[in-house]
Amino acid sequence: MIINKETKTVQTNSVFPNHNWMEIHEPGEWLLVPRELQDKAMEMSPYCDLVFDENEEGNKKLIDIVEADRPVMPEPERTPTIEERLFAVEEAIIAMAGVRSC
């Protein structure tokens, strides 16, 4: 499994599990996810932060994946009931016919 450093999206490949994906992706954009973090990556992606440990040579190693804030989703609009839709259709027919209801 690999994860994109910017978008935090993951890619898996069960068809070719031994293929080196790093050969086909831009260097620096993607990194291999250690086996112990793969469940976290699948569960949290793309709403996660990557935690790195940097050694003396400046190499970064992915050591954890933590959940990030998810965007607030707007409430879905209320769907009109069948009665409300029928009333709206009746009102439109009446308006087109020029008839006034009592």
3-state helix, strand, coil in the chain (%, to 5): 30, 25, 50
pTM of the model: 0.57
The answer on pLDDT for 86 being more than 70 is: yes
User: What's the rounded Cα separation, in Å, for the pair 97 and 74?
Assistant: 39
pLDDT at position 96 is 87
Q: Write out pLDDT tens, residues 15-64.
A: 666 666 666 666 678 888 899 999 999 999 999 999 998 877 777 888 99
Instruction: Measure Cα distances from 50 to 32, 45, 66 in Å.
Output: 12, 10, 7
Helix (H, G, I), strand (E, B) or coil at 66: strand
Supply the Cα-derived Rg of the chain in whole angstroms: 26
Please report how many Cα atoms fall inside a 13 Å half-sphere around the Cα of residue 79, on the Cβ side: 2
